[in-house]
Amino acid sequence: MKHAIRFVLNGEELAVEIDVGQTLLQLLRDQLHVTSPKRSCEQGECGACTVILNGKAVNSCLVLAVAVNGKAVETVDGLERDGLHPLQKHFQELSASQCGYCTPGMLMAAKALLDSNPNPTHEEVKEGMSGNMCRCTGYVRPVEAVLAAAREMRDSTS
């Protein structure tokens, strides 16, 4: 059974038809060909599919697509407006990703954190990214990158 929904994806309003049981991850990857949210555990355990839904980081594999009707979804593809976002820049400069598979999810979790808390402590960054599993980095450099991005973003607004 198909259902029509409207939502905003990375600033662009979309109208699509979805299957009622379809997840947001399936909608993004399979129907809209937005492949930055990664398909991994599909059980909400790894964070590879993290996107921002109305300002909150969510695992897109656990959200039914019908639930985004009338809402806004951000993926890592929406970060680059006028060049690299400070999070992307500092992840790159500090070598905060290795294989890169978890990076889009980590970036979105970090963005949701910084959107709600522009001056997080080291512990708050670790907590904010605790739902994102990474086998390569050991989390030290990703946390450093988020803190560096937070400093840059605060400095640019003062």
Q: What pLDDT score was predicted for residue 24?
A: 98
Q: pLDDT 10s digit of each residue in the chain, 158 long?
A: 899 999 999 999 999 999 989 999 999 999 999 999 999 999 999 999 999 999 999 999 999 999 999 999 999 999 987 889 999 999 999 999 999 999 999 999 999 999 999 999 999 999 999 999 998 888 999 999 999 999 999 998 87
Instruction: Enter the DSSP assignment of 23.
Output: B
Q: What pLDDT score was predicted for residue 80?
A: 86
Where on the phi/psi map is residue 84: left (φ > 0), alpha (ψ -120 to 50), or beta?
beta
Pick the CATH number of 2-78 from 3.40.50.720, 3.30.300.30, 3.40.109.10, 3.10.20.30: 3.10.20.30
Q: What pLDDT score was predicted for residue 81?
A: 79
The residue ranges of every structural domain in the chain are: 2-78, 86-157
CA angle 96, 79, 137 (to 5 degrees): 15
3-state secondary structure of 155: helix
Q: What pLDDT score was predicted for residue 137?
A: 85
Please name the fold of domain 86-157. Answer: DNA polymerase; domain 1 (1.10.150)
